[in-house]
Amino acid sequence: MFDDGLANRPDDAGPTDHRTPVVLVTGLDASSIHRVGDAVEGGGVGSVQVHHDLTQVEDGRVVRTLSWRGPDGRSRHDVCIVELAHGCISCTLREDLLPLLRRLHRRPSVNRIVLTLDPVLEPEQVAWSIENVIVAGMPGFDDAPAAADVRVDLTVACVAEEDWLTSATGDLSLAEGGHVALDDDRTLAQVAVGQVAFADALVVAACDPTVRDAWASARLVAVLKRLAPNVPMMFELPQRPITPVLAEQLLAAVPSRSRRGRIDGPHDPLLAGEPPLDSDCGVTWVEFHSDRPLHPGRFHEAIDALLDGVVCARGRLWIATQPDEALWLESAGGGLRVAHGGPWLASMTDDELAQVSDERRALGALRWDESFGDRHTSLVALVHQGDPAEIEEALRGACLNEVEFAAGQQFWSTFDDPFGQFHADPCDDLDISDSTVDAVPGLDSSDPRDN
């Protein structure tokens, strides 16, 4: 069964891009990732598939597999062990994947690169690294991000119908969910939601029809269509696994206006892609907006409303004690974090304002207040079992009341603020690692497809 969910696809008539396209294949279930990755790789002439197995990363070892089809149509595989000085995901990207992408770009036989990501990887992190991390020290290459040679063409997310929604709405850590521990605080829900929300296409591994719960399946589809709106969705049946032909049909259905590696910021639209706003199987988006600041203590208490019966939430916060900078809230399942989201337009210097996009300026102008500028709270929550009215009531109660609002900023600054630097719920310390990478050693220059 195939549903492209599209109509009147726009024609992308931009300038020719000579960079090698990259297809990211992601998901929590390793077997689904490999099936889909093999199908995508097998469906394109000149495709090479790259996979890093991170199950041994804590020991400083990563198994890298490159796969492609030879002139005779038979599959070829090149497997090697990558030794890392420090066992972590960042090392894998910095020391192996990013320079490998640049080298593959220069191979005439490579027309497309398929990255089948380890289940613990989030495609947004990989796309950000390709676009921003400088690959330096490679003989014959200028120091530049991998994006100088490759581009993320699209992302395919694999979803297991049987248990994806359970993972996406729970609070298990990656280690508790059976995945390798990578010394971070991410949960299964955070990874599951992030993988689907970043997708340009979905492949749903369907349950055995004899045990399928029709209502649960309908609810899952309702969640997926709101989390990844207007993307083509293919259902992989147990008796009909995905094939290269089906994979190419799926990729061809992705519209040019799709995300295609674009990374949204805290001040971008919260409901990009025009998701359905109606309720289906109890699944709906709840929108909350306020031109009054949030009381930090009461909002901290209201957070629970965003963790019960909610798939995910995200939004910009105007906290009364922090007038200069928006805070960014993001939740998935039973976990939530609040971090810095950048300054408000009203608190920027002239030099900072000169760097702001026209779109953000226009959005700020639409709600500009003479006293407070563009400061506001906008938050959306994808509910699957919760009560939208209770969420609205909890958030509205967290806003300053008439007396508090009239007292002004000097009074607001006296409030205790649990969001002083950043916040995670459950209320544990959250390690924020440095994402800046400045050097990447080169790789062997031989073409893996020549083996």
Q: Is residue 274 part of a domain?
A: no
Indicate if 121 and 256 belong to the same structural domain: yes
**Section 315-320 average pLDDT:** 98
Q: Is residue 217 part of a domain?
A: yes
Q: Is residue 228 part of a domain?
A: yes
Q: The domain that contains 346 carries what CATH number?
A: 3.30.1220.10
Indicate if 224 and 290 belong to the same structural domain: no
To the nearest whole percent, how much of the chain has pLDDT over 70?
89
Q: Model-level pTM? A: 0.87
**Section 97-124 average pLDDT:** 95
**Section 171-177 average pLDDT:** 88
CA dist 293 and 52 (Å) reads: 45
Q: Is residue 442 part of a domain?
A: no
Q: What was the pLDDT predicted at 444?
A: 29
Q: What was the pLDDT predicted at 424?
A: 59
Least confident of 110-114, 318-322, 416-420: 416-420
Indicate if 344 and 234 belong to the same structural domain: no
Q: Is residue 36 part of a domain?
A: yes
Q: What was the pLDDT predicted at 441?
A: 24
CA dist 316 and 270 (Å) reads: 9
CA dist 137 and 119 (Å) reads: 30
Q: What was the pLDDT predicted at 15?
A: 64
- Nearby residues of 290 by Cβ (< 8 Å), 6 or more positions away: 318, 376, 377, 395, 396, 399
**Section 127-150 average pLDDT:** 96
Full residue range of the structural domain in which residue 197 is found: 18-263
pLDDT band at 185 (very low <50, low <70, confident <90, very high): confident
Q: Is residue 82 part of a domain?
A: yes
pLDDT band at 182 (very low <50, low <70, confident <90, very high): low
Q: In the listed set 202, 233, 263, which residue is the last one of a domain according to the structure?
A: 263
pLDDT band at 409 (very low <50, low <70, confident <90, very high): very high
CA nearest neighbour of 28 among 116, 128, 154, 118? 118
Indicate if 230 and 317 belong to the same structural domain: no
Q: What was the pLDDT predicted at 425?
A: 57
Average model confidence (pLDDT) across the chain: 87
Indicate if 312 and 232 belong to the same structural domain: no
Indicate if 220 and 316 belong to the same structural domain: no
Indicate if 310 and 421 belong to the same structural domain: yes
Indicate if 293 and 417 belong to the same structural domain: yes
Least confident of 43-47, 207-211, 436-440: 436-440
Q: Is residue 224 part of a domain?
A: yes
Q: The domain that contains 93 carries what CATH number?
A: 3.40.50
197 in Cβ contact with 313 (< 8 Å)? no
Indicate if 373 and 301 belong to the same structural domain: yes
Q: What was the pLDDT predicted at 235?
A: 94
Indicate if 231 and 363 belong to the same structural domain: no
Indicate if 225 and 310 belong to the same structural domain: no
Indicate if 146 and 243 belong to the same structural domain: yes
Q: Answer yes or no: is pLDDT of 319 > 80.
A: yes
Q: Answer yes or no: is pLDDT of 44 > 70.
A: yes
Tally the domains of the chain.
2
